[in-house]
Amino acid sequence: MSGSPPLDAVDRTWSRRSAMRLAGGAAFCAFSAGPARAQAKDTIRFGLTPVFLTNDLELLNSLQAYLAHETGYEIELITRRTYQEVTALLVSGQLDAAWICGYPFVHYRDDLELVAVPDWNGKPLYQSYLIVGADREATSLEELSGDIHAFSDPDSNSGYLVTRTLLYEQALDPEIFFRKTMFTYGHRNVIRAVASGLAQSGSVDGYVWEVMREIEPDLVERTRPLRKSEWLGFPPIATSKVLSHSPRIEALTKALLSMAEKPEGERVLSMLRLTGFESADPSIFDGIAVKVALLRGVL
């Protein structure tokens, strides 16, 4: 899971469908409603993420209620369309914490600190899937030459970086190898693009693809993973280094790490299909860091 939720203003209704579009956002994106406004001492600006569950509002309300209860702070949630916007808000200190992608975390490693990392199936790891239409017979990346390819977000690890690195390793330029590339700003959108035939292949978050297979089987079963990447660090909740030792972040960290132990927290986790949060070592993002290093100077 990578990046912040691609929710745009049009989708503020938080319908199930719009929430699914946010599924790509792996970060709890906390953000401010406006630029540099004075922050109340008892408020945590927090981004809650993307949810692929049956009722987004229910999830958001549950998470907000849980965090508010556990931390004793008011919780404020907002989203942005691209990961870049969310990351910029976080790095600039306009958000207390955000659920971002591993790629921006590695990119801004010097400015950011981990708060907690979600556990999926008990591990803070996930994969990137290269997906194609379910009926397509292709078996390798080379066969995708000439495709229209759907990426999720230029700041997404699973939805861009992994495939981009793969091509680089094979000395392929995506703008030449593919007939056309497009950014859909949402992992669910990548699945929609490939399932509908708008794109012939796509790069998508493996966690999102697997969870959506349960929630929207009709859509997801029109696609299949052509290639799964190695296991990489799950999109973390991060904060700026400046705030990392503040009482708000400590309270937030505690609340997240103990989520699996509380009934309210368990309810939130079940909606997210996660098993909990852990205080993981930043080294789990080394795999992503290697890719970033590899492409340094190219991107």
Partner 1 sequence: MNILSRIRRLPLTVRVPMTVAILMVAVSGLISERVLDRLSKTQEVYLQRLASAYLDGVVASVTPSVLREDSWEVFDGIERMKPSADDILPLETVVTGKNQIVLASSDPMARETLRSLDPEFIGAFNGTGVRIDANTRSGYVRRDITYQNQLIGAVYAVFDVSSLLRERRQILVTLLATNTVFTAFLGFIGFVTVRRMIRPMQVLETHMIDAAAGSSTLIADSEFPVANKEAVSVYRAYNALVRSEMERQVLARQLAEEEKLASLGRLASGMAHEINNPLGGLMNAVDTLRLHGERRTVRESSIELIQRGLHGIREVVEAALATYRPERLTRPLADQDFADLRLLVRPELRRKQQRLDYQIDGTIDAEPRWPAGPIRQATLNLLLNAAAATPEGGRVGLQVMVTRKELDIAISDQGSGMPDSARSILSDRTNKQVPRDGSGLGLWIVREIAGDLGAAITVSRETGSDTVVRLSVPRTISEVSKVA
Chain position carrying tokens 């199930």: 16
* 189 lies in the binding site for partner 1 (CB under 8 A): yes
Q: According to CB under 8 A, which one of 199, 204, 237, 256 is a site residue for partner 1?
A: 199
Tokens, residue 156:
């997404």
* 145 lies in the binding site for partner 1 (CB under 8 A): no
Phi and psi at 154, nearest 5°, equal: -65, -15
Q: How far is the CB of 12 from partner 1 (least distance, A)?
A: 14
* Residues 51, 49: Cα–Cα separation, whole Å: 6
Q: How far is the CB of 65 from partner 1 (least distance, A)?
A: 31
Q: How far is CA 235 from CA 85, 116, 125, 175, 290, in A?
A: 16, 10, 8, 27, 16
Q: Which stretch binds partner 1 (CB under 8 A): 47-55, 157-165, 196-204, 227-235?
A: 196-204
Q: Which positions from 68 to 97 touch partner 1 by CB under 8 A, shown as an x/- string?
A: ------------------------------
* 178 lies in the binding site for partner 1 (CB under 8 A): no
Q: Which stretch binds partner 1 (CB under 8 A): 91-99, 119-127, 193-201, 255-263?
A: 193-201
* 19 lies in the binding site for partner 1 (CB under 8 A): no
Residues in contact with partner 1 by CB under 8 A are: 10, 148, 150, 179-180, 182-184, 189, 192-193, 196-199
